[in-house]
Amino acid sequence: MPPVLCLFVLFGALCPYGEAMSLEEKQKLRNQVVEMFDHAYQNYMDHAYPADELMPLTCRGRVRGLEPSRGDVDDALGKFSLTLIDTLDTLVLLNKTTEFEAAVRRVLSDVRLDNDIVVSVFETNIRVLGGLLGGHSMAVMLKEGGQHMQWYQDELLHMAKDLGLRLLPAFNTSSGLPYPRINLKHGVRGPETRTGTETDTCTACAGTMILEFAALSRFTGDPVFEDHARRALDFLWEKRQRNSNLVGTTINIHSGEWVRRDSGVGAGIDSYYEYLLKAYILLGDDLFLQRFNIHYASIMKYISQPPLLLDVHIHKPLLPARTWMDSLLAFFPGLQVLKGDIRPAIETHEMLYQVTKKHNFLPEAFTTDFRVHWAQHPLRPEFAESTYFLYKATGDPYYLEAGRTILDNLNRFARVPCGFAAMKDVRTGSHEDRMDSFFLAEMFKYLFLLFAEAEDIPFDVEDYVFTTEAHLLPLSLSTAPNTSSILSNKTSDEELDDSNFDWTCPNTRLLFPDPAFPRSLREPIRSAVDKSCPRPAPYREPGMGRPPLRAQDFMANNPEHLELLRRMGVSLIHLKDGRVQLVQHATQAVSAVAAEDGVRFMQEMMELSSQQQKEQLPPRAIQIVSHPFFGRVVLTAGPAQFGTDLSKSSTGVRGFVTVAEPYSGCTEITNAEYVQGHIALLQRGQCMFAEKARNIQKAGAIGGIVIDDNDGSSSDTAPLFQMAGDGRSTDDITLPLLFLFHKEGNILLEALKEYREVEVLLSDKARDRAAIFKGKPLPGSLIEGSVDVQEEEDCQTEATTPTSFEPVSQSQMSTEELDESVPEEVTPAQEEVSPAGEVGREKEDKAVDSQADTAQPKEERNSEKAEEPRGDTDSSSQSVDELLADWREDLEAFKQMEKDEL
């Protein structure tokens, strides 16, 4: 039996559980996927091509150098019509053969690969080289069918080889690891390249080359590409930490030293593990499977804390490296399905599904208690990918319903007239003017396959392997001559654990004898995320007495208490913002009884924490509705725990803004004649928030906006800020008060400075423009002609709702955060709660930190986001002037659109 096939024998083997979806319903959803793809693809072709990507809010193409720089994210753009190339094999899968043929002709006639531009080696490999190879595979398949592409003479393969040769100089390092960037025209050497000085690359960036490069070698018969990709993988394997068998996130390409020693399965490492397993599937080389299994055993031992996947340190794998997870790890349940380890795949996927249902999309990062850490969502497809693989493995219609949820959320919250827009903030529903190429390359493939029957697919997908960008490479390449001149380093017999290989071809009848088993795995996870986990009555063995330490007695600086925690398997992590996080690993307790005590202690600590914190509120939105913005600019704002509850107002509060005098709002307002009937702008500090609200309310204001006085603060990087009261009744405050960080506040102030009259809408979420203007012609509409207003209203009828704070309690792992700004002991909170790090300002204003984890300082977060293969770049490192310059350029674009329409 060929080694490849055993990985797929489990597909459909499990008995489905739940109410089956009718064929008619599946067909309806399948057709909906195709319609959504058409909406995205046609808008790219109409408004963006030949640009690399579509900007769906402004209905134009994103051309590198003509738009404000987004940092590393722009390294994927090479002026080579990225989205078109990335979408080629999607067109075939969705039975759009005519469109595919036209797209191939466009690529051959229009696309140049010799541009003088610096691009990411990783992104260019998976998106462009992978897209060309996937397109070539489809073209060959169609040509062999005898009806289409009869004119095709391997032109896409010739382009792929040209691109491969342009990427090869990146591998010219002593280690064999590629440079992270390369100039398509000049390579990496010489001043004209404007690159080649980098010293670090991410593990995934160096370890995600083997599928595309090996396929290129086997298609062309030239072994040089596969040789270089294998050499890079060999070096990463040699540099793994030998005790933990884990790899770090960032490595020096010259010395091989680990630069960042944290290890997980998300951003920076993800596709390295994926390509080890898939290289075995595609190439049939047992060496790749052996290495993957060794890594996988360590992942399940150290990183996996079902249903969580938490980064650890490679040298101290029992020590957590961070308290949040990024959305890229959502691919991992799908990889576990290929591995044959279904149980943890079901558990992690269910956790991700519940987080998705809470926020409508997976936030770019979220905490261990499932709150938003990074609020962006660039329409990533990894959750859809895992949903598809789990449905294939189990046949459980539950995963069809998960797919329906993905479709509904995309249509309701991300769909715009010119395509689908990424979410800037899942809490408020604000959009970002981007539609990445991977949305068309991956999302619609997996969703179509999820709802498709065998007769709907023009070829057998089991004959192909999906790359990390979901490009299709034929498994027949495993039988192609392998003329590689490099022998990979063999894995010694001592490193192998034969028992680990049993999972590669599991007997699903033994693993899952009960058809209801998948549901039994999901239920406790759903309860944990929903914060309704039933807690059994405490049990202790006879004679054991009470737990040795109660939560209300715990003091973080008491050595005796710390030793008791250690015995219970509870460890402390001191966060950078002054808080302490408690993490409980039952397996690290000195005994089963001590582990039980640890679980009970964590439960008590959670209950105590919930008493200490008031109910947390979701973020609010400030939407600029006056000329020339007309509702397009939405600022994420923090709420107040007093005053008008905007979530209970169907219309929000709308009015013109004016700066209060004094700006602090801490004494009687001296320009009351201007504040009356307006929304007052105030500066944070010098007094309490409630006092500011009372002063502007007395002056006749209809609302207030407090702007942070901390230069450079931004909702992009800082946790959401909630304004608390002043320790006495705030029932007398009847107006809404919202909080803006410095960056967002400056946008509002600059608009006021330039236009003098600025009208805003204070609400619980971004409103669609049709609702704001109540049926009047939409000023500055992005496109002329009829717009389905009902569709736009549907897209905005529900606000994204983040979870309030509730740590997770699982038998294997629990976390709890304490505020160490109260140094001696943890006690039930008074009526007011100040966040960690705010104690010094308690006399000025009080606040509650409603986002989970601020452990990472701003610079550290920026570096981590910059190193994500597909992450957003954090704008907090830019100066305010630069941010405002970017904003002004967007404003000029809006003005130009208005002129065009007039």
Quick one: pLDDT band at residue 608, thresholds 50, 70, 90?
Answer: low
Task: Name which of 121-130, 319-328, 518-527, 793-802 the model is least confident about.
Answer: 793-802
Exactly one of 53, 123, 816, 867 is catalytic; which is it? 123
Residue 537 has pLDDT above 90, yes or no: no
Residue 875 has pLDDT above 60, yes or no: no
Parallel/antiparallel/unpaired status of strands 118-120 and 60-62? unpaired
pLDDT at 883: 54
How is residue 167 written in tokens?
A: 């990427």
Exactly one of 99, 226, 364, 874 is catalytic; which is it? 364
Active site residue 270: yes
> In this predicted model, which residue has the larger pLDDT, 895 or 525?
525
pLDDT at 888: 60
Residue 406 has pLDDT above 50, yes or no: yes
Question: How far apart are the C-alpha atoms of 762 and 783, rounded to whole Å?
Answer: 26
Return the number of other C-beta atoms located less than 10 Å from residue 82's C-beta. Answer: 28
Quick one: pLDDT band at residue 887, thresholds 50, 70, 90?
Answer: low
Strongest mean pLDDT among 272-286, 554-568, 733-747, 790-804: 272-286
Question: How far apart are the C-alpha atoms of 503 and 518, rounded to whole Å?
Answer: 18
For residue 584, the one-letter residue type is Q
Strongest mean pLDDT among 350-354, 573-577, 595-599, 754-758: 350-354
pLDDT at 675: 94
Quick one: pLDDT band at residue 818, thresholds 50, 70, 90?
Answer: very low
Backbone angles phi and psi of 738, in degrees to 5: -120, 160
pLDDT at 895: 53
Percent of the chain at pLDDT above 90?
56
Residue 483 has pLDDT above 70, yes or no: no
Return the number of other C-beta atoms located less than 10 Å from residue 241's C-beta. Answer: 18
Residue 360 has pLDDT above 50, yes or no: yes
Percent of the chain at pLDDT above 70?
74
Parallel/antiparallel/unpaired status of strands 703-707 and 679-683? parallel
Quick one: pLDDT band at residue 312, thresholds 50, 70, 90?
Answer: very high
pLDDT at 661: 94
pLDDT at 295: 97
Residue 155 has pLDDT above 60, yes or no: yes
How is residue 491 written in tokens?
A: 């894995």
Digit-coded pLDDT (tens) for 9-63: 344 444 444 578 999 999 999 999 999 999 999 999 999 999 999 999 999 999 9
**For the whole model, what pTM was predicted?**
0.64
Active site residue 364: yes
Residue 787 has pLDDT above 70, yes or no: no
Residue 596 has pLDDT above 90, yes or no: no
pLDDT at 606: 72
Question: How far apart are the C-alpha atoms of 383 and 334, rounded to whole Å?
Answer: 9
Query: Angle, to 10 degrees, between the axis of helix 880-901 and the axis of helix 742-755?
Result: 50
Q: Per-residue pLDDT averaged across 397-419, rounded?
A: 96
In which residue are the tokens 């140049």 written? 112
pLDDT at 710: 82
Q: Are 642 and 726 in contact (CB under 8 A)?
A: no
Q: Are 71 and 866 in contact (CB under 8 A)?
A: yes
Q: Which of 744, 734, 662, 735 is nearest to 710 (CA)?
A: 744
Q: Per-residue pLDDT averaged across 357-381, rounded?
A: 94
Residue 784 has pLDDT above 60, yes or no: no
Residue 735 has pLDDT above 90, yes or no: yes
Quick one: pLDDT band at residue 842, thresholds 50, 70, 90?
Answer: very low
Exactly one of 72, 262, 382, 597 is catalytic; which is it? 382
pLDDT at 559: 80
Parallel/antiparallel/unpaired status of strands 422-425 and 430-432? antiparallel
> In this predicted model, which residue has the larger pLDDT, 562 or 374?
374
SS3 389: helix
Parallel/antiparallel/unpaired status of strands 118-120 and 181-183? antiparallel
Quick one: pLDDT band at residue 351, thresholds 50, 70, 90?
Answer: very high
CA distances in angstroms from 406 to 32, 89, 371, 413, 523, listed in the order given: 12, 22, 19, 11, 20
Quick one: pLDDT band at residue 547, thresholds 50, 70, 90?
Answer: low
Q: Per-residue pLDDT averaged across 301-306, rounded?
A: 93
Strand segments (E) across 728-819: 737-740, 759-763, 813-818
> In this predicted model, which residue has the larger pLDDT, 85 or 524?
85
> In this predicted model, which residue has the larger pLDDT, 697 or 13?
697
> In this predicted model, which residue has the larger pLDDT, 484 or 328?
328
Question: Mean pLDDT across the chain, nearest whole number?
Answer: 80
Exactly one of 270, 350, 436, 597 is catalytic; which is it? 270
Task: Name which of 225-234, 355-364, 403-412, 790-799 the model is least confident about.
Answer: 790-799
Digit-coded pLDDT (tens) for 635-671: 889 898 889 888 888 889 999 999 999 999 999 999 9
Q: Per-residue pLDDT averaged across 160-183, rounded?
A: 97
Return the number of other C-beta atoms located less than 10 Å from residue 902's C-beta. Answer: 6
pLDDT at 536: 40
Q: Per-residue pLDDT averaged across 498-517, rounded?
A: 47
Quick one: pLDDT band at residue 449, thresholds 50, 70, 90?
Answer: very high
Residue 304 has pLDDT above 60, yes or no: yes
Q: Per-residue pLDDT averaged across 771-788, rounded?
A: 47
Q: Per-residue pLDDT averaged across 137-142, rounded?
A: 98
pLDDT at 729: 79
